Structure 1
């Protein structure tokens, strides 16, 4: 993988690897290693296995400490609502992880960069790579930075992973005549580090603003902002 691309992703996840090979392996899908003989079956599947365990213990310890009155059954349910494909793939999307994956031609052509299962598995692999490179504390820090907001939401019984759909449902339940639009207000930065500013509008009023590394993420953040302002989501 191109070193510049690796350093870009390190900046995104706010962690600099001592062993770059660990990061590269975590971003290598099995479809790529099957097609490229140079990788000789090196892929992120073993890291995914390890990352799943690191993720689970990190979230388990956090909710154990944060909710001392919760019985074992409630802690298990809470962890399951957080450590799931929907949540992990959303975190991966926010990190723009899909754009840094090494995929085989077939997987690339079939939309693998946006497939939830691939994104969730890759995020677990990245967690494992951080754990092996920097130790448990670094991996735990990464997990909690990106998952704490979902843990807080899960306590209320439901995690919103698609803010646009939730916003659509909310406004349609109030009025069938409302029209929701997402408008790119501006784009900043060079092509490889674009930042999009998006407004979400209900009819002619701006109800939320969002920023992201691509339009999809910026739109989700704008919808989230609108839901927070409406009092339907905690910050």
Structure 2
């Protein structure tokens, strides 16, 4: 089975060429499209990703305790992080979705994108083995690991922003729900984070209000040069 041009582009972005391209095709197939979908590959890829990221953190941060390593791993493999990787890979363009999922914006839904990343990693493992998938994960996370500051990253953006403002004896940030978009099963929340004392207002989006608040807080931290 040959791969479509955009599948070839995805292989290039992954830095891995499949010997069995049908595995990649299955990894990109949502259950709404076919009974031969990606959920089993997702299960496999999830376990491999957690193990490889754990190995990378273990080797990189000899001074961190188990709980700190666990929190860093959780941050790196959470849905939002995987969805961002999918966006960087333009993976959404390659997904095979049922008509209903296409119409409801499934190509942009974080849960579907994150699952497809994990499924693709599972496919790489079956196609090329552990060394191959380790290499792919290392490439996908190279930028994130290079910029990772455990002292800061172990705090979520809302906590980090609150502590920064308290340290400067400034009022706490104010969060307000600006908009809810999409159908009930695929809603996107937009939240505004305002710091009036610094004349800063930033927006954040996410699949829940909590995620959107964290995104808005992260945008404020970036404005302050603290991200």
- Alignment of 1:141 with 2:135, yes or no, is yes
Corresponding residue number in structure 2 for 1:11 = 12
Following superposition, the deviation at residue 170 of structure 1 comes to 9.0
Question: What is the DSSP-based 3-state SS (H/G/I as helix, E as strand, rest coil) of the residue aligned with 1:15?
Answer: coil
1:24-49 deviation line (CA, Å, top 9, x unaligned): 0000000000xxxxxxx111000000
Corresponding residue number in structure 1 for 2:101 = 107
Map residues 207-218 of structure 1 onto 2, 5 A cutoff. Answer: none
Map residues 6-85 of structure 1 onto 2, 5 A cutoff. Answer: 6-33=7-34, 41-85=35-79
1:182-219 deviation line (CA, Å, top 9, x unaligned): xxxxxxxxxxxxxxxxxxxxxxxxxxxxxxxxxxxxxx
Q: 1:145 to 1:169 in 2, by over 3 A?
A: farther
Give every structure 1 segment of 4 or more consecutive aligned residues whose post-TM-superposition deviation is greater than 4 Å. 168-173
Following superposition, the deviation at residue 83 of structure 1 comes to 1.2
Q: In 2, distance between residues paired with 1:82 and 1:75?
A: 11
Q: 1:173 to 1:85 in 2, by over 3 A?
A: farther
Following superposition, the deviation at residue 7 of structure 1 comes to 1.5
Q: In 2, distance between residues paired with 1:130 and 1:174?
A: 48
Q: In 2, distance between residues paired with 1:21 and 1:141?
A: 21
- Alignment of 1:175 with 2:199, yes or no, is yes
Cα RMSD after superposing both structures? 2.9
Contact 2:42 2:122 in 1 (8 A): yes
Q: In 1, distance between residues paired with 2:125 and 2:91?
A: 18
Q: TM-score, normalised by structure 1?
A: 0.65
Map residues 80-91 of structure 1 onto 2, 5 A cutoff. Answer: 80-91=74-85
